Structure 1
């Protein structure tokens, strides 16, 4: 059902783009705008992962510099039948994490030092499993596509200001002004709706990958509390990356649910608890036998200082 909703939202955004382009310049104007927007976003498609990691000052770690985190991700990737992604650490006290990369073969997962300091090993495993679920579901590619279409819609709205409409726009200059305001707003709402839909799907698959839905449920509660208390200046400086994090890192994200990039955290926790209560039969996959995703050091209290990087 989540894939159906995503497809419907993508179709709605595409239809919006096509309709606006036709109203502004007819078929020819629509094709030109699409070509320009595609060219602008092609560079982002191939380099978005590097740009995002650089924005958040992430540094790559390996089995030598962060052994427990690296081995945990390695085990989870094996559970998910994924290639081993690159692992990054962000020196930031706010607990959070994200995944990036255009496909599973070019993926990376990143965690903040705040996440590793505040959560237990089990909760960290739940978070990393969630991020690997985004990789497995090709969500980073989906968000690139929606960003491309949203950018094209904004570009068409700007074209309307300079070139006006044509005879297909019955409202004249009033229609052009409305288009400039409403079209980018509508595209943003659809883009955020897609992001929220993919979070629920990643929560469910992440629970399957790590083997314990309650690990992720507990982690979400702690991360949400940490985000409320701890400012993230890098995220505030690059708000366009907010949808990538497991919890919205921006201080103003709770102002309006309509424009939130993520579902309500309590709703996500409730869904994970339902999944745990449903037992091994939920979704046709067993949650048993997956605890090997967590290092033998176990809880946060028992692990030695330093191995997380």
Structure 2
């Protein structure tokens, strides 16, 4: 997806926020929504990364606390010609990862303990390379702003439903029924825009990550394992904050709620097929490996394989 299309979609998300404001408070509500959206974008630029990391209880690690993992990220960042990002681990059994930050100079990558325990080192390298590709493509700012606005749309729509939006004094020509419609339709529309922004970016990050780590099939294998784990292991923090789901490499939501009606991620099988095609182009193609017997990884715990990655 090119940057112009992303900008248009972000503008559409902001416009949707204003429509919800209009449905609740008429022209005055629309202007307030515009000001709030501008303020949220400014806040997201500076602080959304810290907010998202805080939502998931991420703890920063360094060469003293997680030397092998941090060394691996450092090597991948060097290959990608990126500044060294901050590195976080999330104590969560679901295998998953995401990147955040307003620019490559202020980026952070985070992996769950479930990911580090489930994947082998080559697969972990593929996942973190994918996240660094998001950083290199400047996707992280777009994703955090999208998460902030989409979450606010849902909250604002619910506020209008429960606190009597669309009254006669608001100059809203649609009446009180508009608040009910907005409460139903606005979150769905926000999810559709999130989906449109996220899906093509995931394909680009898959390709960029495969080029950074040099092993498309390791990333393909990682995606298969993460998808299986994400369906089997609930991520309660993500369920509580569904507007952040598009930030993860694989959708962390269980699908038990309406929040997962429109997936923000491409089909995993299609992503794996694209990586296998890339492996053929790069040479040395072989089918993506099945899950291997667990083994001790360089950061401790079961990693699901026996091979050490290029960092050790």
Q: TM-score range by the shorter chain?
A: 0.7 to 0.9
Give the aligned partner of residue 62 of structure 1: 62
1:51 equivalenced with 2:51 (yes/no): yes
* Residues 26/56 of structure 1: CA separation in 2 closer, same or farther (3 Å cut): closer
On the 8 A contact 2:254/2:260 being kept in 1, the answer is no
CA positional deviation for 1:211? 1.7
Give the aligned partner of residue 251 of structure 2: 248
Residues 129-168 of structure 1 show CA distances to partners (whole Å, capped at 9, x for unaligned) of 0111111122221123324543565577556943447999
SS at match of 2:165: helix
Give the aligned partner of residue 121 of structure 1: 121
Return the alpha-carbon distance in structure 2 between the equivalents of residues 208 and 257 of structure 1: 30
CA positional deviation for 1:5? 4.4
Give the aligned partner of residue 224 of structure 1: 227
Return the alpha-carbon distance in structure 1 between the equivalents of residues 129 and 170 of structure 2: 53
Give the aligned partner of residue 213 of structure 1: 216
* Residues 64/10 of structure 1: CA separation in 2 closer, same or farther (3 Å cut): same
Residues 71-122 of structure 1 show CA distances to partners (whole Å, capped at 9, x for unaligned) of 1111111111110001112233322111121211111111122222221211
CA positional deviation for 1:31? 2.8
Return the alpha-carbon distance in structure 1 between the equivalents of residues 192 and 272 of structure 2: 23
Q: Which runs of 5+ in 2 are unaligned?
A: 284-297, 299-303
1:100 equivalenced with 2:122 (yes/no): no
Return the alpha-carbon distance in structure 2 between the equivalents of residues 70 and 209 of structure 1: 16
Return the alpha-carbon distance in structure 2 between the equivalents of residues 42 and 98 of structure 1: 22
On the 8 A contact 2:23/2:179 being kept in 1, the answer is no
Give the aligned partner of residue 306 of structure 2: 301
On the 8 A contact 1:24/1:168 being kept in 2, the answer is no
SS at match of 1:92: coil
Return the alpha-carbon distance in structure 1 between the equivalents of residues 233 and 154 of structure 2: 33
* Residues 62/23 of structure 1: CA separation in 2 closer, same or farther (3 Å cut): closer
Give the aligned partner of residue 284 of structure 1: none
CA positional deviation for 1:253? 6.5
Q: Which runs of 5+ in 1 are unaligned?
A: 281-294
SS at match of 1:99: strand
Return the alpha-carbon distance in structure 2 between the equivalents of residues 112 and 82 of structure 1: 22
Return the alpha-carbon distance in structure 2 between the equivalents of residues 19 and 238 of structure 1: 23
1:162 equivalenced with 2:165 (yes/no): yes
* Residues 146/278 of structure 1: CA separation in 2 closer, same or farther (3 Å cut): same
* Residues 268/37 of structure 1: CA separation in 2 closer, same or farther (3 Å cut): same
Give the aligned partner of residue 190 of structure 1: 193
Give the aligned partner of residue 286 of structure 2: none
* Residues 3/270 of structure 1: CA separation in 2 closer, same or farther (3 Å cut): farther
On the 8 A contact 2:40/2:149 being kept in 1, the answer is no
* Residues 222/38 of structure 1: CA separation in 2 closer, same or farther (3 Å cut): same
* Residues 84/41 of structure 1: CA separation in 2 closer, same or farther (3 Å cut): same
SS at match of 2:87: strand
RMSD: 3.4
Q: TM-score normalized by structure 1?
A: 0.78
